[in-house]
Structure 1
Amino acid sequence: MCPPEHFAIEYVINPWMDTGTAVDAGLALRQWHFLHDTLAGLGHRVHVLSAQAGLPDMVYAANGAFSVDGTVYGARFRHPQRAPEALAHQGFYAAGGWTFAEGNHVNEGEGDFAYLPGAYGGLILAGHGFRTDPAAHAEAQEVLGRPVVSLKLVDSCFYHLDTALAALDDRHITYFPGAFSAASQRVLAQLFPDAVIADQADAEAFGLNLVSDGRHVVLNAEATGMGEKVRAAGYQPIHVDLSELKRGGGSVKCAVAELRPRP
């Protein structure tokens, strides 16, 4: 995670951003700390990446890379305003001794990649349409050695895969069908017939931008309907208020890069 010490809406690169609306910097930081402490309280070790001045979106730490079993596929951001973030993330992984592969194609890390180690022997779901080039999916497959299923996003409000789909555990997902092309909807229905299906209200409340450890599902406070859906599916929802980060187009998952070291 990376604290929102420099978080602000200084430009518009997604439909949620509005430079005319000021961010409450103090509230953003308090909300971030609550998320950090919630994850730590669940028993997870949380590493903190130092924020850098001039990079207001760095708080969305999930976008910097994507890791699977000790190997990291680095981001190459679509928008120049965020491009320097990739180097900061690369430095973090280099210091930790991870095997790092720099992305040659435009991709935004875990924003557009999700991993399910228990599904089909280990499966990566990958989004494209707004931020990540389809060529990055093939590149990630070569780097990470796991099959990649490409999914087309068609609604700009759900510009990253992690705004429209989430892994609930090693084998199960939840997603909002309306964010995907008809063909991608058919692929998801075939691969995950028992998925938890979200509706547009869930997605607009950033209820799919969640982090799950297979038992606890941490999600945005506004997403009460989504919380009931995951509870009915056997998980324990934990709501956190990230209203300020939502102004920039992100919530829980955007703020958390999940680290997957070698087994």
Structure 2
Amino acid sequence: MTISDVAGTPASDVAATTPRRAERRERGPRTRTPRLRRYAMTAPTFFTVSYAINPWMDTSTPVDTDLAVRQWETLLSTYRALGHTVELVEPVAGLPDMVYAANGGLIVDGKAVVARFAYPQRAGEAAAHAEWMSGNGFEPRHTRHTNEGQGDLLVVGSRILAGYGFRTDHRAHAEVEQITGLPVTSLELVDPRFYHLDTALAVLDDTTIAYYPPAFSDEARARLQKLFPDAIEVSTADAYVLGLNVVSDGKHVLMPANATTFAAQIANAGFEPIGIDLSELFKGGGSVKCCTLEVYS
């Protein structure tokens, strides 16, 4: 199946002020409406950094697992306080990265794609997520090529934005498109610090994204500019604290607490930022979105 691509002119690192943006400033920020969501999460019971498979991981840096659990519980309780449904996937000993539940697969419109991990250290997570999917009424489907779930497969409205370059194999995009029936737009990542799409791009609602332009190839940036001309472009300082690794219900945006400039940007756009401290889980290269698998209905 052919993957949907959109041509366009390469975007500049610095956003130009377009008439549409100027008009929006005159009108003021939009009123945003939250929608109740369904999430799956895995407690960091066995979280540690015992190997390094991304630039954020340092095996010489101590990890406080008890603190990681408390920070994760704050994220969990915040979702539930907002009225969202959170289901728990049982953690498995020996799989310290299983807390990053977003990487376990993609579930959209009742169709489930199970992750096929790039590194053997995480391979066992796929079976645990497939079991959870089966137990919750989904038929898990597998790709022949590597895919790391919602780490690289982000749903925006009726489209999937799909990252490749470090973890997910570009060839898996066509498989995902065939399984889900949704058009897939491929985006090449070029900076290893942003090894998953969800570290470089945030979905804020069905038509709004934010992203860090230097994380993408020129072609990918052109596609994003064409699809989302009003996208929020995030600074290096906020990107380097994984500020884009967020979860939004269409109004409330749960995000890393220290991405303060980005928080101001999304507040100006009418969203409500909610800072979450996941400093221990940052040591493994993840934050809010990495810990959250959304079940898209």
RMSD: 0.7
Name the amino acid aligned to 1:256.
T
Q: TM-score, normalised by structure 2?
A: 0.86
Q: Which of 24, 41, 56 in structure 2 is aligned with 1:16?
A: 56
Q: Would you say 1:147 and 2:183 are equivalent positions?
A: yes
Identity of aligned residues (%): 53
For residues 90-126 of structure 1, the C-alpha deviation after alignment (integer angstroms, 9 at most, x for no partner) is 0011001113211221010000011112xxxx11100
Q: Would you say 1:239 and 2:275 are equivalent positions?
A: yes
Q: Would you say 1:164 and 2:164 are equivalent positions?
A: no
Q: Which residue of 2 aligns with 1:188?
A: 224
Q: Which residue of 1 aligns with 2:140?
A: 100
Q: Which of 248, 251, 271 in structure 2 is aligned with 1:212?
A: 248
1:201, distance to aligned residue in structure 2 (A):
1.1
Q: How does 1:1-263 map to 2 (within 5 A)?
A: 1-117=41-157, 122-261=158-297
Structure 1 runs, 4 residues or longer, greater than 3 Å off: none
Q: TM-score, normalised by structure 1?
A: 0.97
In 2, Cα distance between the equivalents of 1:129 and 1:223? 25
Name the amino acid aligned to 1:237.
P
In 2, Cα distance between the equivalents of 1:111 and 1:256? 10
In 1, Cα distance between the equivalents of 2:295 and 2:183? 19
Name the amino acid aligned to 1:236.
E
Name the amino acid aligned to 2:263.
G
1:222, distance to aligned residue in structure 2 (A):
1.2
In 2, Cα distance between the equivalents of 1:99 and 1:228? 41
Q: In structure 2, list runs of 5 or more residues that go unmatched.
A: 1-40
1:182, distance to aligned residue in structure 2 (A):
0.7
1:197, distance to aligned residue in structure 2 (A):
1.0
Name the amino acid aligned to 2:71.
Q
The alignment partner of 2:122 has SS state of coil
Aligned length: 257
The alignment partner of 1:57 has SS state of helix
The alignment partner of 2:112 has SS state of strand
Name the amino acid aligned to 1:99.
E
Name the amino acid aligned to 1:197.
E
- Look at both structures and tell me which one has the larger radius of gyration over its CA atoms: 2
In 2, Cα distance between the equivalents of 1:181 and 1:84? 31
1:166, distance to aligned residue in structure 2 (A):
1.3
Name the amino acid aligned to 2:100.
Y
In 2, Cα distance between the equivalents of 1:149 and 1:61? 23
The alignment partner of 1:134 has SS state of coil
Q: Using CA pairs below 8 Å that are at least 6 residues apart, which structure has the higher relative contact order?
A: 2
